[in-house]
Amino acid sequence: MSYPAVARAAMEGLDGSLIRTVFAEGAGLEDVIPLWFGEPDVVTPGFIREAAKQGLDAGRTFYNSNFGIDELRAAIAQYQSGLGRSVRFDGVCVTASGVNAIMLACQALLDPGDRVVLPEPFWPNLAGISRVLGAEVATVPLRLRGAAWSPAWSVDLDELLAALTPGTRMVMLNAPANPTGWMLSRAEQEVLLAHGRRLGIWILADDVYERVVFDQPAAPAFLDIAHADDRLVSINSFSKSWAMTGWRLGWINAPSTLMPALGKISEFNTSCTPPFVQLAGIAALQQGEPFIAATMARYRAMRDLACARLGSIPGVSVPVPGGAMYSFFAVEGCTDSLALARSLLHGAHVGLAPGRAFGPAGEGCLRLCFAVAEDRLQAACDRIADHLAHTGGR
């Protein structure tokens, strides 16, 4: 008898990333404009990198608390207070990225078989993390609605509430959303919070794009309105707001009663994050507002450019996102977004993410990350327009 060295069967049912499928195909191609990943195209600001270098020079290379160094936890609480949120120092758990924060929270909260509800299209890792831990994922579709000249992604709140049945363990709400830029209004948050309280459903608020918004300093957050003992975990990250994708630094805001479990879970996952990386995080929080303002001015211009250019292509429906850094647009007649993304890659040398990567409700769409320099974005839009004119989006 022979035993092949393969993973548990449950792994087979977990999708690999379709974005990475397209990315892998582009490996050998020259002159590709890569807009497939959600990553700012600039190096982390110098003052943040300098803070890490100073930490290295100072010998900050040792283990530290499962919850992060006190200086960073305090800086996070102070930063969030500056956004008008009442955040407790001892309710902050530093994590090794936003995705790691979600993994830790889910390990603390989800039992196998638990029901998790997720608006769709969704960031694939939200479903992946739930499934790898054995939870059952139910989705509620967002819909592209509104007049042809101003479509918008929106959720039917009654439909979402109906999906949050008694016994549901968690709803994951990523708003501003990747990939759609969909946002939750304060009124919708109030209703969802009340519903969660009534039924004991945890809200996992993935707030990593809260500062990547175009018409306000920060997106409305559940943290603004929740009580300290509500079943709410807020996920955050340094990646998007401060161009720190590669640093793998994030945090969780959680009720104090959840912290002992998060401490154990942190210990079992990465135990802590590098002290010199955490010092860089402090610099970002305390000196980063001018960078965020400049970045958002740039993103706003790129968003407007992308929406105008893509919107002028016949058969393309382009909602204008209120947050995040993506245009998630529908192509008339497209029934296989993976094939279309491949066709655009090979035929037009533009790297986009296929909508289906974000769940079946994303089929027929493509995601373009507009966090790039203007000339690159213009060139990409030229290529997409040319390609769709010739192929008709199939």
Residues in region 336-375 near a copy of itself by CB under 8 A: none
Q: Binding mask 2-21 vs a copy of itself (x if CB under 8 A, - otherwise)?
A: -xxxxxxxxx--x-xx----
**Distance separating alpha carbons of residues 34 and 348, to the nearest angstrom:** 11
Residue ranges of E strands in the chain: 33-34, 92-95, 115-120, 136-141, 143-145, 152-154, 170-174, 202-206, 232-237, 250-253, 316-317, 326-331, 350-351, 353-354, 365-369
Residue 228 vs 308, nearer CB to a copy of itself: 228
| Residues 206 to 235 in contact with a copy of itself, rule: CB under 8 A | 229-232
Q: Is the CB of residue 52 less than 8 Å from the CB of residue 390? A: no
Place of tokens 């002290």: 275
Residue 3 vs 149, nearer CB to a copy of itself: 3
Question: Which residues lie across from 172 on neighbouring strands?
Answer: 204
CA angle, corner 231, sides to 226 and 236, nearest 5? 75
CA angle, corner 263, sides to 282 and 223, nearest 5? 60
Piece of the chain touching a copy of itself by CB under 8 A; list 172-180, 238-246, 285-293, 305-313: 238-246
The nearest distance, CB 214 to a copy of itself, in angstroms, is 24
Pairing of strands 115-120, 136-141: parallel
The nearest distance, CB 393 to a copy of itself, in angstroms, is 29
Residue 128 vs 311, nearer CB to a copy of itself: 128
The nearest distance, CB 23 to a copy of itself, in angstroms, is 10
| Residues 295 to 324 in contact with a copy of itself, rule: CB under 8 A | none
**Distance separating alpha carbons of residues 89 and 138, to the nearest angstrom:** 34
The nearest distance, CB 157 to a copy of itself, in angstroms, is 22
Piece of the chain touching a copy of itself by CB under 8 A; list 217-225, 245-253, 317-325, 366-374: 245-253
Q: Binding mask 73-112 vs a copy of itself (x if CB under 8 A, - otherwise)?
A: -----------------------xx-xx--x---xxxxxx
Residue 141 vs 263, nearer CB to a copy of itself: 263
Q: Which residues contact 16 (CB under 8 A, 6 or more apart)?
A: none
The nearest distance, CB 247 to a copy of itself, in angstroms, is 5
**Distance separating alpha carbons of residues 162 and 172, to the nearest angstrom:** 15
| Residues 35 to 54 in contact with a copy of itself, rule: CB under 8 A | 37, 39, 43-44, 49, 52-53
| Residues 256 to 285 in contact with a copy of itself, rule: CB under 8 A | 257-258, 260-265, 267-277
| Residues 182 to 211 in contact with a copy of itself, rule: CB under 8 A | 197, 200
**Distance separating alpha carbons of residues 246 and 238, to the nearest angstrom:** 10
**Distance separating alpha carbons of residues 29 and 64, to the nearest angstrom:** 44
- Among 178, 189, 241, 245, interactor with a copy of itself by CB under 8 A: 245
The nearest distance, CB 265 to a copy of itself, in angstroms, is 7
Residue 156 vs 267, nearer CB to a copy of itself: 267
- Among 27, 63, 375, 390, interactor with a copy of itself by CB under 8 A: 63
The nearest distance, CB 394 to a copy of itself, in angstroms, is 30
The nearest distance, CB 218 to a copy of itself, in angstroms, is 24
CA distances from 281 to 68, 77, 84, 248, 295 (A): 11, 13, 20, 10, 17
Q: What are the structure tokens assigned to 35, written together?
A: 């807009």
The nearest distance, CB 306 to a copy of itself, in angstroms, is 21
Q: Is 22 in the site for a copy of itself (CB under 8 A)?
A: no
Exposed/middle/buried for 298, CB within 10 Å: 0-12, 13-18, 19+? middle
The crossing angle, in degrees rounded to 10, of helices 275-287 and 46-57 is 140
The nearest distance, CB 87 to a copy of itself, in angstroms, is 15
CA angle, corner 172, sides to 167 and 174, nearest 5? 160
Q: Residues binding a copy of itself: what is the number (CB under 8 A)?
A: 77
Residue 42 vs 187, nearer CB to a copy of itself: 42
Cβ neighbours of 90 (radius 10 Å): 11
